[in-house]
Amino acid sequence: MAKTTAPVLAIGGITMANQSILNNKPIDWQVAIATGMAAGAFALLERLWEKGAVAFAWMALATLLLVRLDPKTPSPVESLARYMERKKG
């Protein structure tokens, strides 16, 4: 398995969980398809430039956690913070 596979699959899983579980939106299956395609593309890129591909994959994961991809949907960190606050009180 390529070194970039884990962060790329995590990106897709976190995106889907953020949309459907934490924000009560319907599951967007395009995310799953795009994640599979991105994992394949990163595996190919890793053969050409391993260090760069791995670094880019982890940077993409960190960016996903902190940045809103859709202005109407909070970032995963924001969503998780709101979810934890609801569970507390």
Residues in the chain: 89
Q: What is the pLDDT of residues 3-38, one digit of tens each?
A: 999 999 999 999 999 999 999 999 999 999 999 999
Between the CA atoms of 52, 55, 58 and 63, what dihedral angle is there, to the nearest 10 degrees? -90
* CA separation, residue 85 to residues 20, 35, 67, 74, 79 (Å): 18, 30, 20, 15, 10
Confidence of residue 1 (pLDDT cuts 50, 70, 90): confident
* CA separation, residue 68 to residues 45, 49, 58 (Å): 26, 29, 17
Q: What is the pLDDT of residues 33-54, one digit of tens each?
A: 999 999 999 999 999 999 999 9
